[in-house]
Structures are given as C-alpha cells and as structure tokens.
C-alpha cells in the first residue's frame, strides 16, 4: 500500500477520520516507516552505535536557552566532532538529545512533522505541556529498542505565552520509558549531565541576561567535558563550538557562530586563571 492509486489519487486512509497524531497515522497504515519502533532480533544488543552525549537547558529573563556539545562517541572512540544535537521543533519549541544518534535524528524529524500535522489538522498549535506529553508518547514507542541498547533521551525547552510573566521559559526532561518531568530553572541530560548540572547549580540564578545564560551554559559544558571523556568542550583549533540556542517571545534563534566563538574564547581565557571555573554568586 503506497497511499496513492495508479491514477495518482490519495488512498482512502487519507480521508478516514482519526487521530491528529501523524505518528499514529503511520503506525496504522505504514508502520515500516517508523524506524524508531523496529525491534532487533531476540538476543541481539546494539553495540558500538554512535551516541550523543551532553545537552542542557536553563531559563533566563526573556525565555529559555538550550545547548549541547558537539561530540558523538562509539565506545572509547570519537565518532563525530561536530554533531548537531539541538534542533527547533517549531517556532517556540526546541529539542536536544542524548543517546543513539541515528534514532534520535529520526525521532526529531518525526516530532517536527508531528507538531506541524497537529496544527494543520486542528487549526491551532499544541500547548507546550501537550507538546511534552506527545514527545513522551513517542519515546515510549521506542521502549523495545531502548531495552536493546538504543536509547534516546531528549530534552525539550519552549516558550509558553500562557505561563505567568517570568516563568514562560519551560524545560521538560524524560526517561527512556516515556516518563515526563518538568524541570525548573535548569536541567541536563547525557553522560556528562551530572557535572553540567553541578555547574549550573552553582551558576544559575533567576533573571539571568541572555549573555549570562549563554556563558553559564558554556561553563557547564566545559565542566562536563573536563570530567566526562564522551563530552567535547570548545575546540578552538578546529573552531568547533557548542550549539547554543534561545527561545523567546520572538521565537527560536540559534546564536551566531561568531558569538558562540567569542563567548567560548572568553570562557576559556577565564579558565586559564581559574581552572575550576567561577565561584557561585553569594
């Protein structure tokens, strides 16, 4: 079944009332296209697949910032040095990922289509809480592969115009079984996340400016790279820097490479005098 007959007309399934979920539509009519749900043969575990490592998010005065390092690993090897782990989901939402790179990229693309499909069918965008719930459902659909070693752990950040002033930047974390948890202030996922969260616990405070939030994110990723070999810090020689994006009332914006480079070099220079990073504000 292709969904289109020999005369080029759409199949009956496109005109049958159903869910506003594009994922559920595929599951019902073209399940083979859902690569995130394929189960490996019994007894087989995925070993050596590329893994993305550390991503984080924190709120600031105008919204929320989401960032990620660029390294992907295969066991003890560096598989890629410039992986993109932060992606816009729609105008006011972004998703970053840690875990199995191939599945994660498929999940991100499917999630982008999921949000667009819902808006076209319903005529209105999802609320941010509904977007988080929909992503949790999609993660749960990958549970079989996660149990075989192909886990994807995303991080969702968005600007919620319905939230009270000062709290419109929101962050959601997930577990491999599709559990959804709202995080307040900051959060990190991936192999370097314990170190990144420790740095953010020290550096975060309500009402940060965009620049202060970006520097805090870079400091946290630097600390993660300092203690986790799978996390890559700023690579000044190759000019590879973390991806830093912000979401505000004006929408999603990735910080220009020139600005990320400037902030990274400033942060590395500060580390020459203080290798352990800045002290917490008192």
For the segment 223-267, what is each residue's pLDDT rounded down to a tens digit?
Answer: 999 999 999 999 999 999 999 999 999 999 999 999 999 999 999
Q: Quick one: pLDDT band at residue 1, thresholds 50, 70, 90?
A: very low
Specify the pLDDT at position 141. Answer: 84
> Can you tell me whether residue 259 is helix, strand or coil?
helix
Q: What is the value of pTM for the model shown? A: 0.84
State the pairing for strand pair 243-248/251-254: antiparallel
Task: Give the rounded percent of residues in the chain with a pLDDT score beyond 70.
Answer: 82
Taking the C-alpha atoms of residue 20 and residue 171, their distance in angstroms, rounded to an integer, is 24
What pLDDT band is residue 109 in, cutting at 50, 70 and 90? very high
Judge whether 94 and 23 are in contact, CB under 8 Å. no
Q: Which residue has the higher pLDDT, 209 or 53?
A: 209
Instruction: Flag whether pLDDT at 9 surpasses 60.
Output: no
Catalytic residue numbers?
53
């Amino acid at each position: 079944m292709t969904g289109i007959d020999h005369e080029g007309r759409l199949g009956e399934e496109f005109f049958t009332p159903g869910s506003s979920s594009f994922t559920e539509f595929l599951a019902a009519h073209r399940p083979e296209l859902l690569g995130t749900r394929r189960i490996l043969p019994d007894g087989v575990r995925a070993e050596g697949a590329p893994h993305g490592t550390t991503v984080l998010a924190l709120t600031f005065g105008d919204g929320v910032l989401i960032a990620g390092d660029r390294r992907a690993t295969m066991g003890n090897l560096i598989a890629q040095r410039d992986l993109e782990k932060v992606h816009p989901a729609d105008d006011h939402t972004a998703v970053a990922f840690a875990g199995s790179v191939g599945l994660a990229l498929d999940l991100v693309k499917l999630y982008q289509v999921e949000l667009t499909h819902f808006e076209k069918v319903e005529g209105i965008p999802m609320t941010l809480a509904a977007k988080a719930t929909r992503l949790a459902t999609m993660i749960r659909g990958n549970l079989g592969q996660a149990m075989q070693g192909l886990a994807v752990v995303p991080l969702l950040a968005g600007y919620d115009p319905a939230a009270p002033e000062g709290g419109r930047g929101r962050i959601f974390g997930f577990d491999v079984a599709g559990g959804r948890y709202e995080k307040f202030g900051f959060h990190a996922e991936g192999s370097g996340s314990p170190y990144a969260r420790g740095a953010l616990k020290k550096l975060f405070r309500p009402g940060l400016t965009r620049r202060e939030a970006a520097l805090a994110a870079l400091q946290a990723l630097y600390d993660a790279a300092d203690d986790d070999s799978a996390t890559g810090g700023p690579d000044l020689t190759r000019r590879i820097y973390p991806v830093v994006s912000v979401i505000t009332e004006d929408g999603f914006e990735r910080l220009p490479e020139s600005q990320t480079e400037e902030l990274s070099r400033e942060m590395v220079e500060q580390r020459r005098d203080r290798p352990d990073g800045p002290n917490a504000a008192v």
